[in-house]
Amino acid sequence: MEKFIYIILTELFFILLLTFIFHFSFINALFIIGMTGLCAGLLLLIYSGGAFSIIGFSFRRFHYIMAPKSVKSTMDESSDSHKSLTIRSEKYPITSPLIIVSTLLLTLSILLLIL
């Protein structure tokens, strides 16, 4: 619950900053901060799920398979060529509250735009 309050206060601060200092309308500031927070939360979710570890492993494996034999012999001697796949299992506690609060802000901005 504490993380939700911190995220709400932080996003409200940025909304007020965009509204008063940069002269955005309130609905536009809600949408921009909601979309930015949602993108950041989804990026954290993808990163903690290990998608970038899998992509890096796939590129290393593809490079090893496509390399000529002379290069493969030098790659066999290095420790970087045959790394095992370790999927990142870190879970960030800010991810879910950031996604939820940002989705609510985004939904609120769309509802205010319609009304």
Q: Any idea what the Cα angle at residue 102 is, between residues 97 and 108, rounded to 5°?
A: 130
Q: What is the pLDDT of residue 54?
A: 78
pLDDT tens digits, 25-80? 999 999 999 999 999 999 999 888 877 777 777 877 787 788 787 776 766 555 55
Of 79, 86, 101, which is closest to residue 1 (Cα–Cα)? 101
Which whole number is the average pLDDT over 4-12?
96
User: For position 51, what pLDDT does the model report?
Assistant: 79
* Tokens of residue 55, six digits: 């992509």
Scan for tokens 């921009």, then name that residue: 32
What are the Cα distances from residue 61, in Å, to 48, 55, 57, 83, 95? Answer: 22, 10, 6, 9, 31
Q: What is the pLDDT of residue 82?
A: 54
Indicate the pTM of the whole model: 0.75
